[in-house]
Every structure is written in C-alpha cells, then in structure tokens.
Amino acid sequence: MNIYKIKPLFILLFLLSLNQFIFADSIDSLKNLIAKETNDSTKVELYLEISKEYFNGDEEHLMYVNKAYSLAQKTGSTYLIAATSFFKGSMLNYYDKYDSAVYYLEEAIKEFAEIQDTFYLAASWGELGNMFCYRAIYDECLDCFLKSLRYTEELGNKVYIGVTLNNIGGVYYLLEDYEKALEFYEESFTVYNEIKSEYGIALSSNNIGSVYLEYYDDLDSAYKYLKIAESYSEEIGFTEQLAETSANLARLFGLSDEFDLAKEYYNKSIQLNKQIQNRRGLAQSYVSFASLYFGEGLYVRAKEYLDSCIVVSHEIGALEFESQAYKWMYKSDSALNNFEGAFLNLMKYKNLNDSIAKSETQQNIASLQSEFDVERQEKENQILIEKQAKQDLIIQRQKLYNIFITIALGLFLGLLIMLFSILRQRKRHFEMLFSKNQEIMQQKEEILTQNDVLNQRNKEIENQRTVLEKYQIDTQGSINYAKRIQTAILPEISELKQTFSDAMLINMPKDIISGDFLFFKKFEKKSILAVADCTGHGVPGALMSILNMTLLKEVLRDDVQLTAAETLNKVRNLVKNVLKQSSDQRTIQDGMDIAMVMYDEEKQEINFAGAYRPLYHFRDNNLTELKADKQPIAAYIKEKPFTDNYLEIKNNDTIYIFSDGFYDQISMDLSKKFGIKQFRELISENQVLPLTDQKIILIENWKNWKQNARQTDDIIILAVKF
C-alpha cells in the first residue's frame, strides 16, 4: 500500500466556508480588490483567496498566508485568528516544516475550542494527525485522528466520518496492527456504502484488499475487494486509484504464480500512470515490474524496465526510485556475470544515496532563505498598502455619492414600469379565467371516463392480490413444515446432557429455517460434536445444511477411528464431488465453515479441527483458543490438509464452538458490528455463572445491540461443561 502526500482536504473546505462575496476570476482582480478594501476582516479573506489561486506548487502563496495571519492578529477576531492559524499550519505541514506547523495548528485548536467550532476542531485535529503521520509519530497521529473522529461524529457528516475512519485504518496499517487496520477499513467501507460514495468505496475496498494480500495472505478475499475497487474506479473514471489497484492485483497474481496476469496488470498500471502523467507512480511501476522479471530469471527483460525507470526518475528528480533502479541493475548484471556493469551500477546506487542526503540539507537551507525573503517583502508591501489606502478613501466617498443618485433614479423608473405591468397583467388575467373555465369543463368529462376505467382496474388488482395472498400462505406453510423437519433431524440438548455435566445451545435462524446446524454422535467411549455454518441462509442454507450433515454422517459411518482433521478432509472431498467444484476456480464456492470436537472419555482428551471456526476452552476462568485452518469445506485456491489439535480435559472445563452470526450482527444505526473481541469478553466475564444463565445474558446483550435492526445472519452457539 502506497501513501502519497496530497493537498490537505480540510484547507479546501475552509476556503469554501469563507464569505462568498468574492467573484474575481484572476489573481490581478483579487489584488485590485485588496488595494481598494478598507475592512481588515475582508482583506484577510482576500489574502487567503489569493493564496488558494497560487496553491499549485508555487510557494508564493505562503507570503499571502503570512499577510492574512498578521492582519488577523490586528482585528482581534478569534475566528479569523483561529482560521489563519489553521491555514498557515496546514501550509507549513504541506512543505514538511513540521515544527512550525505544530505551533500554528495547536494555536488553531485552542482558538476554535474557545468558540466551540466543531467543524474546524475536527479539521484541525485531522491536519495535526496528518503531520504526525508524515513524521512517523504514529501514537500521536492516532490520538489526533481519534479526536477528529469524535467531532466528525458530532457533526453527523458521513463523508468526513468515512475519511477519518479510513485514515485511522491507515495508521494501524503503518503500526502493523493489521487486525485493527482491517476493522477501521471495513467500517469506512460500510459508511461509504451507506452514502453510496463511489470514490470512497473504491478507496476503502482497495485498502481492505491490500491488508488481506500483504498480511493475511488471504488471496481470495484480497481478490474480491481489489476487483470491487477496480470496478468502481473504472466506472467513475478514478484513474489514480485504478492505477494503484492494478499494481496491487499485479502483486496478487505474482504471489499466485500467474505471471501472465501479473504482467497484464503491471502494464495496465503503467499505461494509467502515463495517462494521468503520474510519473512517480510510473517510476514505481517500472521498478515493481522489473522485480517480477528478475524473480522469473529474465534479467535482460528486467533491465529494459529499469532503464525506463531511470529515465523517468531522473526527469522528475525522484532520487529514491532512481536509487532503487540502480540497485536492481546491479543485481541483474551480477546474475548475468556482467561484473563490470554490476560494479558501475553499484557505484551509481551509492552516489545517489549520498546525493539524497545532500539534497535534503540544501532544501532546508533554501527553505530558511525563502522564509526570510517573505517576511522582508511583507514589510515593504505593508508600507505601500497604507499609502494607497489614504488615496482610495477619497475615491470611495465620491463613488458612494454617485451610486446613491443612480439608485434613486433607478427606483423611480422601476416604479413606473411596475404600475404599467400590473395593468397589463390584470387584463390578461380576466382573459385567462374564461379560457381556464372551458378547459375545466372538458377535463371533468375526461375524469369521469377515466374513473370508470380505474374502477375496472381496481377489481383486477383485488383479484390478483387474493391470488398472491393464497400463494404466500402456501409458501409460508411449506417453510414452516421444512422447519419442523429440520428441527426433527437435529440433536436435542438433552442428548448432550446425558454425556456432559451441562450443556447450552443458542440456535436462532435468520429466516425461519437455518443454514447453521449442530451435529452430535455418541459411540461407546467417544463422542463427536460439531457446529457448522453453511453457505447462505433461509431455504438455500437449509438445503446445504442437510447435504453437509448427510455427508458428515456418511464419513463417520464408514470409519469411526478417523481424527477430526481426517474427517474434515474426507467431507471436503465429498462436497467437491457432489457439487462438481474445482480448486482452481477463484469464485466463492458453496460449502461450510465448521468446528469439530472428538471427546475421548477414557483418555479425558479432546481432538479438535476447524474450517475457519475456532474453539474456546475455559479452565478456572482462563481462556485458551484453539485456532482453525483458514480454509472452508469446499474447493479453495490454496487448499491444504486440515490440522489436528489435542487438549487434555479436566472436570469443570468448558468449551464453546460457534458460527460467526452472533458477533457479525450490525447495530441499529448500521455503523458497527458486535465484534469477536466483545463476544470473547462477554463469555469470559460470565464464566462463573451456570450455562443457562450465560445463555440468557448472551441473548439479552445481542438483542440490546441489534434493537430494531434486521438479523444479519443465522446464529448457533454450543457450550458444554465436562
């Protein structure tokens, strides 16, 4: 995932919030307005407007920001002082002058807090967070973004909430806390979907895909979200995002050893960067493409792209990319036994690294000189402005007298025109009344005719409604009958209590019949428990649950000596054969996630294996989690054998196996899931209670979280005590 500096979003929002009386279409026009303006508050806004016009990489706009800041101090206006402090801090941040930026942004926060301006408090904390992010001070950055989120939530503006959630996810990504990064990216993705922000969906889905790709090694999920980002970026013409997403997809296919597709997407990223003239992105794509060819052993082909990277990087002064290119040139020549070329490229790589350090020093010196020149020019301009202001005051008074005479004459002439217009309108009004009366009589006849037609159509609609109601009653009866059948074939909780000290089951289908099911089979000295979450819910999910339960029984009927992992391997093969699935397909396959436990009463030991579903074990209020394999009972692109886990069992130990429906429940305001962390804490806090009481507490907490929202998924939770 690449991070780029862009013009700060909140600066542009700030400019749009100023008084919109300025209609100048050029910098010269704005300067003329300043020369004639006598009100200091208006001058502050004009200076900031000129700064906006210059904000295209031209540092001259800093001079006008400084003028606005100095003049705001003279006005004594808390709002203008806060606003110019925010603007100046943001500009200094953009030019990497971080120490000065902190001073002005903190001053802005202090002043905005005094006048309780929620919008600019959110903006100021957000910009301060950006500054700490650029300096890699991530703890301070995270604190600022969280404060900004609090104010954006007070505003209720979901665009800003989505931006801030995405920024917080980015900080956790840089801190390598990928689970938290994914949580905030997904919240941002949810917000953007609610407001149907296509740009936001493209951005957040790309970030989610990057986390799955780089950290979780979950190529299926990465592929799913990156394809969403690609689709939205193409649809709305978000070329810059499409270029980055194409590069991510290229890396994904490279990891999958699908080099042709990887090359196709690297070429696409290169073409898009050329199209938008993003030469930094182009240089980076060249280096990445070259590394792919190097990995294939195509060193000559790799050097062709490295040559292109060197040319582009040199043109734009991107020393870091040029340095990387020479480093790969050195490796390629070494691999080709061109030791002379390798030595020359190694020397260029080292020289460029020295140049990068020297360039940064020179830029700091130039920056100090520029600040000195701006301050000196500001003083000279102030003297000229004061002289011009005295002359402009005399001219302004004469203009006001002329304007008064012109307005008085215009009002008199307008009154005469208005009287004449009223007389003409009254004549037309009488003529229109007669015409309208004729039209009304004709429309009355037409309405009577249409009324007869509508009565006939109402009768037809009533007949159709009667047919639909009968169909609905028949359909509902069929589903209720299917529910009785499904309930009959599932094990009763009383069967489990004959084997275990205590047991608790929560089974709440989303749509009457469920895609989740409980499996229990008792042998002489061995008991088998399983909780499964089949693809889909309602009727499709119920059909899948019956199929998967049947296949599970079939495997255990033939061989009761199998381990849990061996059982899951056999069931997966049967599912693939029955549903005609292939592991080389990238689409999501029908199947199930499952947690399976085999309890040996003689050894007092459990054998656990899982497909995406873990097991929680509690002993003396201490939690042990047995993790599942990250693959389903279905065809999977990175399929591997399932893993057996063994754990000694003692009296009063408790285990929990469950589907994801409980903690995936969305809250009433659709902003947040219940979450696995909160679920784990809830059952940990109530371990001392009997399982029946735990069941009540779990259901009450879930209902309080959901309130009037729709149930998200089927829910099943099983707990047994030994």
Report phi then psi at 109, rounded to 5.
-60, -40
Q: Which two tokens mark 163?
A: 């931006």
Q: What is the pLDDT at residue 4?
A: 32
End-to-end CA distance of the chain, in Å? 48
- Return d(Cα 710, Cα 668) in angstroms, integer: 8
For 237: left if phi > 0, alpha if psi spans -120 to 50, otherwise beta; the answer is: left
Which helix (H) or strand (E) covers residue 518, if one does? strand 516-522
How much of the chain exceeds pLDDT 70, in percent? Answer: 83
Number of Cβ within 10 Å of residue 420's Cβ equals 10
Q: What is the pLDDT at residue 21?
A: 36
Say yes or no to pLDDT of 386 above 80.
Answer: no
Say yes or no to pLDDT of 129 above 50.
Answer: yes
Q: What is the pLDDT at residue 552?
A: 94
Whole-number Cα distances in Å, 543 to 251, 255, 485, 568: 38, 36, 12, 19
Strand partners, 529: 520, 597
- Residue 1, SS3 per DSSP: coil
Which helix (H) or strand (E) covers residue 359, if one does? helix 339-489
Say yes or no to pLDDT of 362 above 90.
Answer: no
Q: Contacts for 569-573 with beta carbons within 8 Å, 24 or more apart?
A: 569/641, 569/642, 571/633, 572/611, 572/633, 572/634, 572/639, 572/642
Least confident of 408-422, 530-544, 634-648, 671-685: 408-422
Say yes or no to pLDDT of 579 above 80.
Answer: yes
Report phi then psi at 101, rounded to 5.
-60, -40
| Confidence class for position 695, pLDDT limits 50, 70, 90 | very high
Tell me the average pLDDT across 295-324. 84
Q: What is the pLDDT at residue 3?
A: 37
Tell me the average pLDDT across 543-571. 91
Task: Identify whether the C-beta of residue 486 lies closer than 8 Å to the C-beta of residue 513.
Answer: yes
Tell me the average pLDDT across 313-324. 78
Q: Which two tokens mark 219?
A: 């190529």
What is the side-by-side order of every strand in the sheet holding 592-600?
516-522, 526-534, 592-600, 605-611, 645-648
Helical segments of 156-218, H only: 158-174, 178-194, 198-214
- Return d(Cα 501, Cα 650) in angstroms, integer: 12
Say yes or no to pLDDT of 437 above 70.
Answer: no
Which of 270, 281, 226 is closest to 248 using CA atoms? 226
- Residue 677, SS3 per DSSP: helix
| Confidence class for position 570, pLDDT limits 50, 70, 90 | very high
Q: What is the pLDDT at residue 341?
A: 85
| Confidence class for position 23, pLDDT limits 50, 70, 90 | very low
Which helix (H) or strand (E) covers residue 51, if one does? helix 40-54
Q: What is the pLDDT at residue 361?
A: 33
Say yes or no to pLDDT of 16 above 70.
Answer: no
| Confidence class for position 30, pLDDT limits 50, 70, 90 | confident
How much of the chain exceeds pLDDT 90, in percent? Answer: 32
For 670: left if phi > 0, alpha if psi spans -120 to 50, otherwise beta; the answer is: left
Residue with tokens 């005719």: 449
Task: Identify whether the C-beta of residue 530 lies closer than 8 Å to the C-beta of residue 594.
Answer: yes
- Can you give the length of the chain in residues? 722
Q: pLDDT tens digits for 438-480?
A: 777 777 777 777 877 777 887 877 877 866 677 667 667 667 7
- Return d(Cα 303, Cα 257) in angstroms, integer: 21
- Sign of the four-CA dihedral 557, 559, 564, 568: negative
Q: What is the pLDDT at residue 32?
A: 82
| Confidence class for position 19, pLDDT limits 50, 70, 90 | very low
Tell me the average pLDDT across 92-115. 84
Q: What is the pLDDT at residue 8?
A: 36
- Return d(Cα 346, Cα 340) in angstroms, integer: 10
For 610: left if phi > 0, alpha if psi spans -120 to 50, otherwise beta; the answer is: beta
Q: What is the pLDDT at residue 237?
A: 87
Q: pLDDT tens digits for 585-624?
A: 655 678 999 999 999 999 999 999 999 999 999 999 999 9
| DSSP 8-state class, residue 626 | E
Q: Which two tokens mark 403?
A: 């304007």
- Return d(Cα 77, Cα 56) in angstroms, integer: 29
Strand partners, 595: 531, 610
Number of Cβ within 10 Å of residue 540's Cβ equals 15
Say yes or no to pLDDT of 366 above 60.
Answer: no
| Confidence class for position 530, pLDDT limits 50, 70, 90 | very high
- Return d(Cα 682, Cα 697) in angstroms, integer: 9
Q: What is the pLDDT at residue 478?
A: 63
- Between residues 85 and 398, the one the model is more confident about: 85
Q: What is the pLDDT at residue 368?
A: 32
Pick the most confident of 26-30, 51-55, 286-290: 286-290
Mean pLDDT of the chain: 82
Q: pLDDT tens digits for 210-228?
A: 899 888 888 999 999 999 9
| Confidence class for position 292, pLDDT limits 50, 70, 90 | confident
Task: Identify whether the C-beta of residue 529 lies closer than 8 Å to the C-beta of residue 497.
Answer: no
Q: pLDDT tens digits for 139-164?
A: 888 899 999 999 988 988 888 898 88
Report phi then psi at 502, rounded to 5.
-160, 160
